[in-house]
Chains A and B, each alone.
Chain A
Amino acid sequence: MTTTSGTGDRLSPSLRTEALEQLLTERGLIDPKTMDGIITTYETNVGPLNGAKVVAKAWTDPEYRRRLLEDGTAAIRELGFSGAQGEHIVVVENTATTHHVVVCTLCSCYPWPVLGLPPSWYKDPAYRSRVVKEPRTVLSEMGLDLGDGVRITVHDSTAEVRWLVLPERPAGTEHLSEEELVPLVTRDAMVGVAKVAAP
């Protein structure tokens, strides 16, 4: 662990965090209550369910799907989802022949308003470095075997853009309503490391 002072190493990150929070609170730069609200929001309210609602709507409403692929941020905001890390969301559509998968090679950028905070594998250095170089192998290790005929595009979340994958609607779900489709849509499918399975 890199520290900028000689005393840092035996101080746990827990103590440093507490110290920082105290100092910033004393200086009026943060309000612990505001922090509590932000933490609660991301721990309990904002998660992949939001993205699943977006996907299910796009599957059942062609006009919404068109808007979503044209301007992801605006179409997602229509459903009430916006906020930090959602300022510029681009949606890409997976099909039988084209597969999109998302990574952030430099850190762990992620579309928070629709997926919540990223899972640990998304932040892992192995995923971040390998999925760009050998996406087919990494996806296969994660349980997604794509045929050689499927073209894979890896999207790196650089700059402001956050990517959301619109998964392929599974065969055999034609009779399901938007509400019935929502629970089928997984976080992993919206990152592009899995497909959505029919129930």
Chain B
Amino acid sequence: MSAPLDIEGPAAPPRSNGELVFAEPWESRAFGMAVSLYEAGAFTWPEFQAALVARIAAWESTAAPDEPYEYYRLWLAALEDVLTGLCAVTTEEVAARAETLARRPPGHDHSDDHAHPHPHEHPHPH
């Protein structure tokens, strides 16, 4: 019929709020970015939701049967769709910046860079 559902431990108690909600740090950044932009009024939630629904539908109609469903990849793609639609960024800009970041030497130090994909400890003086 279909793949078994990925059921998490049924004993997972409701107060274990430390449950892993993001599998990787970038997922939390993609999530936080969308919510932050929504709260700042950059777009309405239905606008973002429509983009997410479209990305999910597109994935489901084209994915190979064994292709893993990666929710936050689609979330990120939807966010880019909305932002390019608003002309806040272009796809080419994002790709070019990501290319630049990919060329960083291993062990790069990005202490002057706010936008690395893990939560950071260093203070932000304002």
A155 vs chain B, min Cβ distance (A): 17
Number of A-B contacts (CB under 8 A): 222
Interface centre among B28, B57, B83 (most CB of A within 10 A): B28
Given known A-B contacts A17-B26, A17-B33, A121-B6, A44 and B92 have beta carbons under 8 A apart? no
Given known A-B contacts A23-B89, A24-B89, A138-B5, A39 and B97 have beta carbons under 8 A apart? no
Closest to A33 in B: B124
Bound together, the chains give a CA A171 to CA B21 distance in angstroms of: 32
B1 vs chain A, min Cβ distance (A): 8
A154 vs chain B, min Cβ distance (A): 15
Residues in B30-59 with C-beta less than 8 Å from chain A = 30-33, 35-40, 42, 45-46, 49, 52-53, 55-59
CB contacts (< 8 Å) of A186 on chain B: these are: 10, 12-14
Of A48-56, A61-69, A145-153, the one contacting chain B is: A48-56
* Residues of B near any A CB (own CB < 8 A): 1-8, 10, 12-19, 21-22, 24-26, 28-33, 35-40, 42, 45-46, 49, 52-53, 55-60, 62, 69-73, 76-77, 79-81, 83-84, 88-89, 91-95, 97-102, 113-117, 119-120, 124
* Residues of A near any B CB (own CB < 8 A): 1-5, 7-8, 11-25, 27, 29-36, 38-40, 42-49, 51-52, 84-85, 106-109, 116-117, 119-121, 123-127, 129-130, 138, 141-143, 159-160, 182-183, 185-188, 194
